[in-house]
Amino acid sequence: MIEKKLGDLTDEELILEFQQNNTVKAYEILVQRYKNPLINYIYRFLGDYEACADIVQETMIKVYRNKDSYKSIAKFSTWIYTIAGNLARTEYQRRKRRNIFSISSYGDENENFDIPDESARPDVITDSGIKDEIIQKALLKVSDSYREMVILRDIQEMSYEEIAEVTGIAVGTVKSRINRGRNQLQKLLKDIYKE
């Protein structure tokens, strides 16, 4: 009965319940609600499933440990996306730095290289899985500041205002970055979307 009641609560009510009464069940429901959207967001940004699962776990742990720093004036989704976005950006920078400084990583088994993929030619593309892979690879080639915005807007379907809140950037800048990101993607995927 109580569980059903908690399940009906909004995100903001759940975090408030968790803050005030330390109801772990409320926290678990929030985890259940946000784990997949966050995994999707981080995966599209980093392109590494294992790392993205770790980041989302870390996000959830931060929510658990810092529940009192959430202020009810903000939307819970904005808060949790901000935490996840910050962690993802940190991880992205770390990877980028590692690629710059580590000579030994060159030729690593886990390294992804851009090699001409014959199966990726538009006339060969039949499987939607391959198509998704090509889109994901193209997405990863878009500048990180644009990519994040495009993912939040076109994949996570957030409003411009929400994106501005999550990233801490002005709405006008968000819009221009989204368009620049889309423009880069359009150039990268021109052979695919013509189909």
Partner 1 sequence: MIPNDDEVRYKNIINLLKQMPKVSAPPNFESDLMRRINIGNFNDTYKIKWWDRFLFPTRIIAATTLAISIVAVFYVLNDNSVDKENPFLLKPPIRKSVLQSQNKQLHLSKTPEYAEASINGSFKINKEGLNFLHIRLNEAEKAKITRLKEQIRAYFNENR
d(CA 55, CA 53): 5
Of residues 103 through 162, those in contact with partner 1 by CB under 8 A are 132, 135-136, 139, 150, 154-155, 157, 159
> Least distance from C-beta 16 to partner 1, angstroms?
19
> What minimum distance in Å lies between the beta carbon of 44 and partner 1?
8
Decide if residue 175 touches partner 1 (CB under 8 A). Answer: yes
Q: Which two tokens stand for residue 127?
A: 């499987």
Say if residues 88 and 46 touch (Cβ distance below 8 Å): yes
Q: Which helix (H) or strand (E) holds 5?
A: helix 2-8
State how far the Cα of 133 lies from the Cα of 79, in Å rounded to an integer.
Answer: 30
- H or E segment to which residue 135 belongs: helix 128-141
Minimum separation from the CB atom of position 2 to partner 1 (A): 19
Q: Which residue among 7, 10, 61, 121 contacts partner 1 (CB under 8 A)?
A: 61
d(CA 25, CA 151): 30
67 within 8 A of 113, measured Cβ to Cβ: no
- Closest C-alpha to 187, from 128, 144, 119, 141: 141
- Binder of partner 1 out of 10, 22, 72, 90 (CB under 8 A): 90
| Residue among 46 and 166 whose Cβ is closer to partner 1 | 46
Extract the tokens encoding 4. 């059903």
Question: Site for partner 1 (CB under 8 A): which residue of 11, 12, 19, 35?
Answer: 35
DSSP label of 76 = H
Interface segment toward partner 1; rule CB under 8 A; list 13-21, 36-44, 112-120, 166-174: 36-44
Using the contact rule CB under 8 A, the part of the chain among 6-14, 67-75, 96-104, 112-120 near partner 1 is: 96-104
Summarize as ranges the residues that interact with partner 1 (CB under 8 A): 28, 31-32, 35-36, 39-40, 43-44, 49, 52-58, 60-61, 64-65, 87, 90-91, 93-94, 96-97, 100-101, 132, 135-136, 139, 150, 154-155, 157, 159, 175, 178-179, 182-183, 185-186, 189, 192-193
